[in-house]
Amino acid sequence: MGRHDGKALLAALALAAAPVAADSEELTRLATRCEGQRFMVDYSSPQGRVRLFTDTGGGNVIYEDAVRRLGLAVRRSGAGGLPAARVPRPNGAVPLPMPMPDGCPEGGMLFVSRREMPDSDGRAGVLGEAWFKNRVWLLDYPGRQLYLVNDARAFEGVPKHPLFFQTDPSGRRAVNYPRIEVEIDGTLYPLLLDTGATLQLTSEAAATLGRRPGSQLATSFVAGSVFDSWRRSHPDWPLIERADGLVGDQPAIRVPWVRVAGRRIGPLWFTRRPDASFHDFMSRYMDRRIDGALGGNAFASFSLLLNYPDASFALLPGSAARRRKPGTHDLF
């Protein structure tokens, strides 16, 4: 946390303690479903309703069956000639913002995918980096609600921390995958901020955590070489040998704490991924090589303010949109 004068610090503390009114001029509440600390939103049109998964670390796709069900128009996009569906602005009091490429002022575009996600949460697509860009968001994890921030001045005085993005030679942002820096065991790690990072519990993981096998939860990821070094250096850190049913029964390790934005958070589970997933593939879209991803399990007790235009984020304790209800939060 940086240094602040007394007035700014008092303002920050007051804002953290006093919730911002929901559905106000400052905030627009989206039709949200929060499952395992991952947010999905409902898109409604005269033809029907679909559920779309939100993911700061993902692409922007809608599945073919949803395109047919909603009667969406499909055209070739400029990105490699891939098919994309025009998603009109929905009818209703609360509009669902969509990616807005040039030439599509009347709605948004999502790439059409034939691939179904291996889960049963009913999602019909993914709203990823191009959906989040150019906007300010409040992900209220304790309140289980996602908000579009209409006026970022509502959060003036809150200590901000940098988000890092890949830029082109002219300094323009090339893509909108955010990177943050976190401290673990005395080392600073560059990580993708990945609100869609998901773990599907194996029988072993479900038994350890007291959950139902096949349940999907938010997790964080780490490259295999880093995971293996933690395992060698800290044999006392709890381990689940076969934790994730999505990718080859990968193991997970529980880190005692993670320092994010000056806050010590934990314990926190990290799921292993091959080095190539982050050191090679995902690093292509970042401003530097990354070692993994920090997911929604890190923010269970916080509201996460993401300001894409300002390239910053903030952590507010509890629910920033309503008074926090008592309860415990699973930090997987």
The model carries a pTM of 0.84
* Nearest alpha-carbon partner for 282 in 135, 171, 166: 166
pLDDT: which is higher, 83 or 293: 293
Residue 294 maps to a domain = yes
Domain that residue 48 falls in? 31-132
* Nearest alpha-carbon partner for 157 in 318, 305, 38, 319: 305
Residue 147 maps to a domain = no
Tokens of 101: 């490429």
Residue 150 maps to a domain = no
Tokens of 34: 């929060």
pLDDT for the residue 213: 92
pLDDT in tens, 16-70: 333 444 456 788 888 889 999 999 988 877 777 888 899 999 988 888 888 888 8
Q: How far apart are CA 135 and CA 15, in angstroms?
A: 21
Residues 185 and 302 in one domain: yes
275: domain CATH number?
2.40.70
Q: Are 203 and 212 in contact (CB under 8 A)?
A: no
Residues 164 and 121 in one domain: no
Q: Are 317 and 301 in contact (CB under 8 A)?
A: yes
Look at the chain and report how many structural domains it folds into. Answer: 2
123: domain CATH number?
2.40.70.10
pLDDT in tens, 147-166: 999 889 889 889 999 999 99
